Amino acid sequence: MPRALIAPSILTADFGRLAEQVRAAEAGGADLWHLDVMDGHFVPPISFGREVVAAVRAASALFIEAHLMVAKPAEQFADIAAAGAQRLVFHYEAVRDIDATREHIQAARALGCEAGIAINPETPADALFPLLDALDEVIVMLIRPGWGGQQMQPALLDKVRTLRARANAAGLALLIEVDGGVKAHNASMCVDAGATLLVAGSAVFNDTQTPEEALAGLRARIAP
Catalytic member of 31, 36, 126, 207: 36
Catalytic member of 126, 179, 192, 207: 179
User: Does 14 participate in catalysis according to the annotation?
Assistant: no
User: Does 79 participate in catalysis according to the annotation?
Assistant: no
Identify the CA nearest to 200 among candidates 187, 213, 191.
Answer: 187
CA gyration radius, the chain: 16
DSSP at 78: H
CA distances to 6, 11, 184, 217 from 214, rounded to whole Å, are 11, 15, 8, 5
Residue environment code for 187-205, b if the CB has 16+ CB neighbours within 10 A, otherwise e: bbbbbebbbbbbbbbbbbb
**How far is it between the farthest Cα atoms of the chain?**
46
Active centre residues (catalytic): 36, 179
